[in-house]
Amino acid sequence: MDKLKIEFIASLPDILSAINIAGQDGNSRMKLDIPASEIEAVIKMIGLKGKAFKVMIEEIEEEINNSYKNPEIEKLKLIK
């Protein structure tokens, strides 16, 4: 049986808690902004709860990167 492979577009949110390194063991936690167009991958990720998996990051072109930002978050940035 083939191993499950999940691929999706995401970005690190522009918040201080996007990456946390804490605890006695020094483990890290990351938060990701994932556009609604990637909901299928998000649902697949739920099935991995409690399981270990490998993460690989590939940077994408900036113009593509800007096209999937959450418009609601962008509106909040303008309010600041």
Please indicate, yes or no, if residue 9 is contained in any of the structural domains.
no
- Do 8 and 42 touch, CB atoms closer than 8 A? yes
Please indicate, yes or no, if residue 25 is contained in any of the structural domains.
yes
What is the Cα gyration radius of the chain? 15
Please indicate, yes or no, if residue 60 is contained in any of the structural domains.
yes
pLDDT of residue 67: 53
Q: How many domains, the chain?
A: 1
Please indicate, yes or no, if residue 59 is contained in any of the structural domains.
yes
Nearest Cα to 20, choosing from 11, 12, 31, 32? Answer: 31
pLDDT of residue 22: 84
Q: pTM of this prediction? A: 0.66
Nearest Cα to 37, choosing from 18, 9, 60? Answer: 9
pLDDT beyond 50 at 80:
no
Between residues 23 and 64, the one the model is more confident about: 23
In this predicted model, what pLDDT tens digit does every residue of 12-48 receive, in sequence order? 999 989 999 887 788 899 999 999 999 999 999 999 9
pLDDT of residue 38: 94
**What value does the mean pLDDT of the chain take?**
82
Please indicate, yes or no, if residue 22 is contained in any of the structural domains.
yes
Please indicate, yes or no, if residue 6 is contained in any of the structural domains.
no
Please indicate, yes or no, if residue 1 is contained in any of the structural domains.
no
- Domain residues for the domain of 69 are 16-79
